[in-house]
Structures are given as C-alpha cells and as structure tokens.
Chains A and B, each alone.
Chain A
Amino acid sequence: MLAGPRRTRPTGAVLALVALLPVTAGAQYPQRAVEMTVLFGGSSATIAQVLADAMSKELGVPVAAVSRTGAGGAVGYSFVRSSPPNGYTIVWNSNSISTVFHSGNIDFDYRAFDPVARIGMEVPALAVRADSSWRTLREFAAAARQKRMRVGISGRGSFIHLVSAALFSRMGVDVVYVPYGQGTAPAELLGGRVDAALQWPNQFTGQVGAKQLRVLAVTSPARIPVLLEVPTAKEQGFDVDLVMWRGLAVPKGTPKEVIARIEGAARRVVASPRFKELSAKLGFEPAFLSAGEFGALVARDDAAIAALMTQLGLKKR
C-alpha cells in the first residue's frame, strides 16, 4: 500500500476553535471531533493513540489524542475539568488523579469528573539483574537486611513510588529510592548503579528475554499475561494489590446519554481482537469496566492511595 499522511488529523488549535461552538443536545452526539487529553508520554500515550484511532471508527467522528503532559497530570486534568461537559473533551485518566490530588498539586479530586469506562491495566514489576543471586522476594528481602538496597523508580510521589513503598514496607526492609525520569531506570539497573528497579513490564521484556534481567514479582492480585511465569507478590507472602488502571472520564455534569455513547464505543473497541493484539504488544492489559463499576473502583482506589500516602508522609492535602 502507498503510505502518506494525506489526511491530517485535527490539531489542538482546530479543536480549540471548535470547542467554542454552542453546546448541542446530547441526543445527536457526536457531531464533531472529540478531543482526548493525554497526560503522559511513553507507552501510555501510544495506547491512547491506538484507542483514539479505534474510537474514531466507532463514533464516526475524529477522536484526536492531544497531549497535555506535565506536572504529574495536573495540567491535563485542569484543562479537561474546565472544559464544557458535553462529551467533546475526554481525558485518558489513571490513578494519577489520586496521586496528583493527594500530593497537593491540584485542588480538585476524582469527583470533578464523571467516569466513562475503564479500558485496562498496567501492572508494575520488580526486576533485578540476571547475574544476581536473588530469585524470590524473600531472598531479596534477606539480602536487603544485610545491605541497604538501591531501587530505581520513577519520580517521587508517582504511582510507581507508592507501589514500591508499599511492597518494601510489607517486606519489612528499608531501601533507597532513586527516582529516574524518561524511563532510564532499566539502564541504571543494567549499569549496576541500582540493585533493583520497579517499572512497567514492557520496559524489561527485551532484557528478560535476553537473560540479562530477572523479574521477581508483579504487584497485581493475579499473574499477568506478558509475564506469566512471574509470581505475584501475594503468592510470595507479601500482601500487595496495586495496579495502575487506565480509563476514560469526562467533566462532571456531562449528559448521561453522551457518557453511554462513549462507553458503548469504548466497550466495542476493548472487545475487538485488533485492540487486544496491539495492547499485548505494548504490554497493556485490556480490562473493560462499565461507568458504574469504574466509578466505584476509582473511589475505592482513591481511599487506598490516600491511606498509603499518609503512611509514607507524602500526603499534603
């Protein structure tokens, strides 16, 4: 096939103009392009692009993934919250709504949004170098009592940091958290400057296959498809159940029928084999939840994160 970007997607500028048009009734939704705000780069942004592309076909109007990164999601959440609640501005959200609120960087929480659907999950994994002698969390914990370990994570107060803090406090060891930006923690692990790294599985898979890194545990309640041979922390006797959910939300007050329309489109996309296939390649686990169930999950998770952040002294609000 001939490839070429002959059809340009509407950019943020065009959408901003479109957003100024008067609000139309929910019944005819959607009549124009929908903008999906993306809060972070990396693999979550690629998944957002895949999702937006598939949603365009379902909704019959362009769905543009527009990146509004920065400040741990605060910028994007603030933008969507202040947009008209008409279904034309949606946010690709995650547990970051709780971490960014409780760290005191925004003055509104998850209740400023109406849930639409959970799309899937990402499960943090703890890896060490393959030439190390640790094969289980218990062996690592025993070694960590002899020598203070350095663990590579993403920024302090990030979800990854919370997960690692929860895991190591259950294991009863004290470690040094080394925050790395731009996904360089695996390189630091390979370079021997940290003893372990907690990151997303797809950051490790290449090295795991090449037998340079070994994943000790994942933090979900059940094993994950991309790392089936890796036991969960729970299986190894450390009760941790923390996964990153990703889903869609809209500003509070969006009409019910509009939410139902987006929810239906998302349901069909997540069920499609194509979305499943691409997700698997990106290390993302599709797991649809309807608006109601998703809302309950978000609320439950927010309470858990608040408790965890209080325990860690990271809660500012």
Chain B
Amino acid sequence: MDMVLQAIVAAMQPAVLAATTAGALVGLVVSAIPGLTFSLALILVMPFTFAMDPIPAIAMLLGVYSGGMTGGAVSAVLIGIPGTPSAAATVFDGYAMARKGEASVALGAAVIASAFGGVFSLVVMMMLLEPIAALAIRFGPAEIFALVLFGLSTICGLAERSLVRGLIAGVLGLMIMTIGLDEIDGVGRLTFGTVQLQQGVHMLVAMIGLFAVPQVIGTFAGHGRVKPEIVTEDVRGLLPWSRLHGYWGLMTRASVIGTVVGAVPGTGGPIASFLAYDHARRFSRNPDAYGTGEIGGVVAPEAANNAVMGGALIPMLSLGIPGDAATAIILGGLLIHGLQPGPLLFQSNLDVIYALYVTVIVSWFVILLVQVAGIRVFVKVLRVPAHLLAVCIMVLCAIGAYAARNSIFDVYAMAVFGLGGYLLQRARIPLAPVVLGLVLGPTLEQQYRTALILSEGSHRIFLESPVALVFFALTAAIIGWQIRSSLARGGTSAA
C-alpha cells in the first residue's frame, strides 16, 4: 500500500504531470493529422526525454501513446480519413455519423470509448499481467495465422451488397501488400527492378490514398452540382452519455478483444479494431445499420484500439518483447533510463511500474478534458466549404504520406492508390475490404510461412494447436453464417 501511495505522489509531481500532459497533447495533435502517426510523435519526442528523470520521461512517452491512439479518431470522424491505421475501422460509421449531423456525438462517443478501453486494459494489465504474458507466449506463428485468418473472414461483413465484389476488393488489398522485398527471404516481388518499390507499399500511405483521394475527386467532380452533404449542428451538452446507454457491454467486449490482440506480439491496433467492428456488427440487433452511422461502429473499434495499448505493454514490460512499432520505441525509452524490461523489473523497480500505471490514468484525464473542450472547436472543420476542405485534405495527406517514411515516392504512391480507389468506387467495388487486406496481408503471409518453416513444411502444425483450431472453427462458422444469410435473403447477394 505504501508503494501505491508513493507511486501516486511520484506521478503527481509537477514535472511528471507536465510531461504527461505535454505528451498527451503532442500525441493527440500529431495523430489527428492523417498520415502522422503516434509512432512518429514518439520518435519526435524521444530526444527530449533523454535528459529527463526516468518517471517523467516514461510518462511523456506513454502520454504520447495514449493521446495518439485517440487522436486518430478525430480525422476519421470529421473528414473520413483515419489519422492512424488503428482508426481505419472508425471511419465507416464515424464519418457516416458526421454526415448525418452527429459529428460531436461521434467524437464524444469515440473519446469515451477510448478512455474506457484504455483504462480497462490498464486494469487488466495491473491484475493479470503474468497470466496474460503467459498466454501471449503461447501464440506462435500457427496461432497468429489462425487469428488473422479469422480477422480476414470479417470481409463478409464489410462486403456491403455483393460478396463477390467484396472478395475482389479483399484480394486486391492482399496483393498490394506483397509488393517489395518479402519479410522472410528478402526476395523482391513486383519491384520491376527499382529500389523504391523494394521497400514495398506502406500500409498507411495506401490507406490515406484510398480514403482521401476518391473523396477529394468526388468533391471536385460534383462541385456546384451537389449540395453539401454535411449538416452542421449545434453542440449540446458536453459528452453524449445518454446515447451510450446499452453500449457498455459492447465496449467491454471490444476492450477484451483489444487487450488480447495487443498482448500477442506481431499483431496490433488495426487488426484489433477491425475484429471489434465486426464483432459489434455481428452481434447487433440491427446489423444493417452498420456503415450508415451506427454509434456501435464507433465505440467498438475505438475501445479496442485503445485497449491494445495496455495489452501491448504486457509483453513489453514483463518479457521485454515489443508487440508493435510504438512499444518498440517506448522500450528504447525505458532502456535509456536504465529500466530493463523483464521479470526483474517488477522486483527491482516496482515503484516505477506503479508510477507508470498512475501516469496512464492521469493521461486519460488529460485526454478527456482536452477532447471535451476540443470537440466544439473540431466540428467547426465541417463548416469549411467542401471544395476548400478538399484542398486542405490533399495537402495534409501529401505531408502525411511523405512523413510515413520520409520518402517522396510515397506521395506519388498515395496518388496512385487514390486514383485506383476512385476507379474501384466507380466500379462499385467497396474499399473497406481492400483496407482489411492491407492490414492483415503482411501478418497473414509472414506467420503462415514462418509456421511452415518451423514444421519443416508440414501443415500439421496448424492442426496440432488447440488455439489455432478454435480460430479455424470460428472462421468456418462466420463463413457458413454468411452463406446461410445470403441464401435466406433470396440469393441476390450470394456468391
């Protein structure tokens, strides 16, 4: 108990509070800009932490992480472009809500769900660190492959009207991600002998292109003829608590998905948020409302992607194994301050660990406060005339695409993907499954091949793992369910 009190005192020091607040603000702002992710924010902030004491330094990095996870939803809702890949699933219903004149409700719901997911995963981390770390280690390549395959089956739910078109879109997404040097053998694929293509397609760059460019083209193509679709609104009340009645169970389940997926090394926020989105739609009494501005389609992915944070910190702190790019950077920050993650950290530096827990909670308070104050300001974006907004979006997206890898090639790549996306839209091929393919493709391929290397080429490795079998069964169930409901609807949408 003494330790806990000391930790609270340590985390409430002015320097620590200032560091947490600054970190959360930087994370929020940077990740609200499409293309600038919290990983970039972490790299930018890192040199400032070198000279700090350990607790404020780590507090700042964690503040950036939690702020960054929530910031991505702001642009997802307001302009229909995810600020970070983890917010991609938030676009579908968040942007639809904004177009129905409910932008502030969507943003409010997103921030409540984010804080809920973040604090939920933190509590799980505090209570169940060791069992979850032990569970995470049991996920080897075969199990991760099965999990990701299950994620891919959610394509059924994203395919909108035609399953065939949905599958075409999904395969396109998978194919795009095979460009470049493959992760296992370092062999170039579809590179046409150029070094630029060897680095492959950056997931975020393709995503910005697909979400932003068709929208911008649409704005200009319809300029002067189409009435502005977006309804401006008056913001009433601070946060839409009443609208969330009946969604707390969903948020809890989405947070569980996020925490578990986050704890498995090699997965991460984008996968978790798509799984949570699909879960919400599938278990909704009104699945057809999803995609047209259903609040459940905002709270589920947002709770999940923020829960990923606590999940990802579990193997990072207890085993020293970073689960994704962001935790890898935070790991560097811990090492710099002489904190070696691993089982011993919990014996030798328990004070620091407790202080970190308190810090994360403080950062959520800061984020809530900022977002509540900010929503009124953010929604003013919607009053900007569509054609002017489109120009700003284009500029921001070009900067974001450049910043992804400091490469001008990515700006051109974004434009190419955007044009491709526009053509697909015209051909009535949905873009959401393309995005799902982008998110899942690399992990799916890499884990499948690694599993086969482990088993020296035998597919039995997939059948010998109970965990993998459970996910295969779930995948089969979802596909069967989809086929049955297609047939029941009279076969119009069946493959």
A contacts, CB < 8 Å to B? 1-5, 8-9, 11-13, 16, 41-43, 45-46, 49-50, 52-53, 66-72, 74-75, 78-79, 103, 105-106, 150, 155-158, 176-184, 186-188, 190-191, 193-194, 202-203, 205-207, 209-210, 212, 278, 281-283
Instruction: Report the separation of the CA atoms of residues A155 and B185 in the bound assembly, to the nearest whole angstrom.
Output: 7
Given A49-B43, A67-B43, A210-B342, 16 extra CB contacts under 8 A: A11-B44, A70-B199, A105-B186, A155-B186, A176-B456, A178-B454, A179-B453, A180-B450, A181-B266, A186-B319, A190-B137, A191-B139, A206-B340, A210-B343, A282-B332, A282-B336
Residues of B within 8 A of A191 (CB): 137-140
Is B240 an interface position by the 8 A CB rule? Answer: no
Q: Are B450 and A45 in contact (CB under 8 A)?
A: no
Residues of A within 8 A of B370 (CB): none
Interchain CB contact (< 8 A) of B403 among A13, A157, A194, A209: A13
B contacts, CB < 8 Å to A? 14-15, 18-19, 22, 26, 43-50, 52, 56-57, 60, 136-141, 180-181, 183-186, 188, 195-196, 198-200, 265-266, 315, 319-322, 324-325, 328-329, 332-333, 335-338, 340-345, 399, 402-403, 405-408, 446, 450, 453-454, 456
Q: Are A186 and B399 in contact (CB under 8 A)?
A: no
Residues of B within 8 A of A103 (CB): 186
Given A41-B325, A106-B195, A190-B319, does the pair A68, B406 have CB atoms closer than 8 Å? yes
Q: Are B340 and A72 in contact (CB under 8 A)?
A: no
Interface of B is mostly: helix
Residues of B within 8 A of A180 (CB): 450
Which residue of chain B is the closest to A15 with respect to CB atoms? B406
Pairs A–B under 8 Å by Cβ, sample size 26: A1-B52, A3-B49, A3-B52, A5-B44, A46-B329, A46-B333, A52-B47, A67-B43, A67-B406, A68-B407, A69-B199, A71-B180, A71-B181, A75-B199, A157-B186, A181-B183, A181-B266, A182-B322, A184-B265, A186-B320, A186-B321, A187-B137, A193-B140, A207-B319, A207-B342, A281-B336
Q: Are B319 and A3 in contact (CB under 8 A)?
A: no
Q: Are A71 and B321 in contact (CB under 8 A)?
A: no
Chain B nearest CB, measured from A295 CB (Å): 24
Interchain CB contact (< 8 A) of B320 among A4, A177, A206: A206
Q: Are B198 and A105 in contact (CB under 8 A)?
A: yes
Given A9-B44, A183-B322, does the pair A72, B186 have CB atoms closer than 8 Å? yes
Instruction: Report the separation of the CA atoms of residues A206 and B356 in the bound assembly, to the nearest whole angstrom.
Output: 19
Q: Are B407 and A188 in contact (CB under 8 A)?
A: no
Which residue of chain B is the closest to A280 with respect to CB atoms? B338
Q: Are A9 and B47 in contact (CB under 8 A)?
A: yes
Q: Are A205 and B181 in contact (CB under 8 A)?
A: no
Chain A nearest CB, measured from B21 CB (Å): 8
Chain A nearest CB, measured from B457 CB (Å): 10
Residues of A within 8 A of B341 (CB): 206
Instruction: Report the separation of the CA atoms of residues A50 and B43 in the bound assembly, to the nearest whole angstrom.
Output: 12
Q: Are B22 and A282 in contact (CB under 8 A)?
A: no
Instruction: Report the separation of the CA atoms of residues A152 and B15 in the bound assembly, to the nearest whole angstrom.
Output: 42
Q: Are A43 and B335 in contact (CB under 8 A)?
A: yes
Which residue of chain A is the closest to B56 with respect to CB atoms? A3
Instruction: Report the separation of the CA atoms of residues A1 and B14 in the bound assembly, to the nearest whole angstrom.
Output: 9
Chain A nearest CB, measured from B208 CB (Å): 16
Given A187-B321, A281-B337, does the pair A71, B48 have CB atoms closer than 8 Å? no
Instruction: Report the separation of the CA atoms of residues A1 and B18 in the bound assembly, to the nearest whole angstrom.
Output: 9
Instruction: Report the separation of the CA atoms of residues A110 and B140 in the bound assembly, to the nearest whole angstrom.
Output: 38
Q: Are B453 and A176 in contact (CB under 8 A)?
A: yes
Interchain CB contact (< 8 A) of A74 among B26, B139, B199: B199
Chain B nearest CB, measured from A292 CB (Å): 30
